[in-house]
Amino acid sequence: MSANGVTALSIDDFTHILRESAGEDEAVDLSGDIADILFTDLGYDSLALLEVAGRITRDYGVVIPDEDLDGAETPRAFVDLVNSALSGS
């Protein structure tokens, strides 16, 4: 269990954190099903994802190594990384 008692991060939680941490491109609608859309197609670069990872570390108490972030190219992949860390696997 994480520091704040959350045991899993949802896509909706992730989208909320993404908006707060890295902003939102006006040309992209994050309210739809974005789970499998590439971050580059959503308008986010690696720096934006590092900001999100930092926020998740602060809020959820889990650290996502930078090298793991490189492989997370979609919101679903990022959320899976976080949930794996939250579950301790």
Count CA within 13 A, CB hemisphere, residue 70: 3
pTM attached to this predicted model: 0.85
Instruction: Give SS3 for 13.
Output: helix
Radius of gyration of the chain (CA): 12
**Scanning the structure block, which residue is given the tokens 């602060």?**
58
Which residue would you say has higher pLDDT here, 26 or 74? 74
| Secondary structure class of 62 (helix, strand, coil) | coil
Q: Give 11-87's CATH code, choosing from 1.20.1440.60, 1.10.3210.10, 1.10.1200.10, 3.40.190.10.
A: 1.10.1200.10
Q: The dihedral of CA 34, 49, 74, 40: what is its sign?
A: positive
**Domain boundaries in the chain?**
11-87
The per-residue pLDDT for range 14-57, each reduced to its tens digit, is 999 998 888 877 767 788 889 999 999 999 998 999 999 999 99
What pLDDT does 6 receive? 62
Residues making up the chain, counted from first to last? 89
